[in-house]
Amino acid sequence: MNIRSYRYVKTKSFIIMGIFAVFLSHCATVPGTGRKQFKLIPNSQMSSMGESSYKEVMAKSKLSADQTKVAMIRRVGENIAKAAEVFLTAQGRESELKYYKWEYNLIDDDKTINAWAMPGGKIAFYTGILKLADTEDQVAVIMGHEVAHVLANHGNERMSQGLLVQFGGLALSKIIQNKPEATQQVFMTAFGLGSTVGLLLPFSRKHEYEADQIGLILMHRSGYKTQAAVDFWVKMTKLSKNSPPEFLSTHPPSEKRVEEIKKHIAELK
């Protein structure tokens, strides 16, 4: 090997080692499933970006005046969040609780069949989705799933991948520190806030199934009937054959999904 190619190999291995170090130092574990994930952005930053985006969406939205429905959404949310706190604490992750300032709002919009969660625990339901989730247990299916996306830091994982694609493996922590506007831009893209407000890009199938799994644990622990998840997703699978609403385009129902849910329910018992 001559000097030049030696230098080339040396530089290349330094770059690879650098990328590897970035991965290692930002490797986290998903609560409940134990999956390893690449998470680049500090939780505190995710929460504050989630909070400000949520405020923006809420300011533009008409909140429901139906006090019975609003109270139901908040009751389910509080029950699931309480279970989430116990769930994290049991895994020695109580230090993460400070990042969550749970909030649940019901937006008065019958045409939007959707629900979503922002990092930090900011959750929105649209009145439209209550036509599909017509019992409190079924609302708990969706709430559990959305809270699970938050606890599993799926937004952070997706953003970290986005940043990696945009800036490569180098000096990412510097970009996050010194270029908050670039980080904010990736956040906006990851959460689909650029064009249609509050319409999240679909999570990957891996994230969807993981959110189902963790969501079922939360539902079960808050005393809701987990069978409602099977009923809900069977109903969604049938519905998706015609003209699927937003929620189903980001949450594709399938027989496989129902089978996975059944499997996780059996594990809980």
CB of 237 to Zn ion, least distance (A): 15
Q: Which ranges of the chain does DSSP label H, i.e. alpha helix? A: 3-25, 43-60, 67-90, 136-151, 154-167, 172-178, 180-190, 205-221, 227-239, 246-250, 255-268
Rounded Cα distance, 28 and 153, in Å:
10
CB of 80 to Zn ion, least distance (A): 14
Look at residue 135 and give its three-state secondary structure: coil
CB of 57 to Zn ion, least distance (A): 17
Q: Segment 195-224, which members bind Zn ion (CB under 5 A)?
A: 211
| Nearer to Zn ion among residue 172 and residue 218 (C-beta) | 218
| Nearer to Zn ion among residue 141 and residue 211 (C-beta) | 211
| Nearer to Zn ion among residue 151 and residue 211 (C-beta) | 211
Cα-to-chain-centroid distance, residue 147:
7
| Nearer to Zn ion among residue 211 and residue 217 (C-beta) | 211
Question: Which residue in this structure is represented by tokens 């079960």?
Answer: 220
Look at residue 105 and give its three-state secondary structure: strand
CB of 132 to Zn ion, least distance (A): 14
Interacting residue ranges for Zn ion, rule: CB under 5 A: 211
